[in-house]
Amino acid sequence: MGWDRNQMAARAAQEIQEGFYVNLGIGIPTLVANYVSPNVHATFHSENGMLGVGPFPYDDGVDADLINAGKQTVSELPTSSYFSSSESFAMIRGGHIDLAILGAMEVDEKGDLANWMIPGKMVKGIGGAMDLVAGVKRVVIVMDHMTKNGQPKLLRKCTLPITGAGVVNRVITNLCVLDITASGFYLVELAPDVNVDEIANATDAIIHEKTVQEN
């Protein structure tokens, strides 16, 4: 029932359109690159200073100087470019990146996002996430619908310190696809064998089934 990690990544890959420059976050978002249609030309950006991120290298092509923002070894393409961190974030902040696909701990119905700390318990740090959500044209979150302990992650209001306010456009979970609209969460798509009641029970916010705004 629902989507597994790879199916969520495959669904997220459908968000990538021809000609897009795309930044992928750590975790499930990194898998998205594996599912982009060969008919779509997209360029992946890594905030540590690379455009045209290639697939993982072959064993004999591993290079310590060539990593993605998740610190994983990657490969270069014939069209790749490298640049400094300030140049990289100029691309992000300046609105030159079309789409960011990121993970999250919480998302609320206003489009606020929390993904960097749990006060007193866990601090992963901010990394590039705050710049990405503030500057990238469209932000899609890929995450499990609930925590490992069965708590909702889609909320009326984020409880954790936020990464950005009103920045999320769409959420892809293991159960469904939701858009953030002026009226809150709007159900776009259900994963196989999932019904609306399950979504409602797993969400601490109202799920709208029909959009109130023209899209």
Partner 1 sequence: MNTNSSKVFADARSALDGVLFDGMSIMAGGFGACGIADLCIQEIYKKEIRNLTVISNNCGGEFTDRPGKGFGLWILLNKKRISHAICSYIGTNKTFERQHLNKEINLELSAQGTLAERIRAGGAGIAGFYTQTGVGTITSEGKEIRKFDGQSYVLETGLTADLAIVKAWKGDTEGNLVYRKTAQNFNPMMATAGRITVAEVEYIVGPGELNPDCIHTPGIYVQRLFEGRADKIIEQRTVRQRDSG
DSSP 204: B
The torsion defined by the Cα of 85, 82, 168 and 16, in degrees rounded to 10, comes to 180
Say which residue the tokens 């740090």 belong to: 125
Q: What is the rounded CA–CA span in Å between residue 121 and residue 126?
A: 15
Q: Which of 1, 6, 19, 124 binds partner 1 (CB under 8 A)?
A: 124
Which of 188, 168, 185 minimizes the C-alpha distance to 177? Answer: 188
Segment contacting partner 1 by CB under 8 A, of 12-20, 126-134, 140-148, 184-192: 126-134
Segment contacting partner 1 by CB under 8 A, of 12-20, 48-56, 190-198, 205-213: 48-56
Residue 18 touching partner 1 (CB under 8 A): no
Which of 20, 12, 8 minimizes the C-alpha distance to 45? Answer: 20
Pattern of binders to partner 1 over 52-91, x per CB under 8 A? ---xxxxx--xxxxxxxxxxxxx-x-----xxxxx-xx--
Q: Which of 15, 47, 98, 144 binds partner 1 (CB under 8 A)?
A: 47
Q: Which residues bind partner 1 (CB under 8 A)?
A: 46-50, 55-59, 62-74, 76, 82-86, 88-89, 92-93, 112, 120-131, 134-135, 161-166
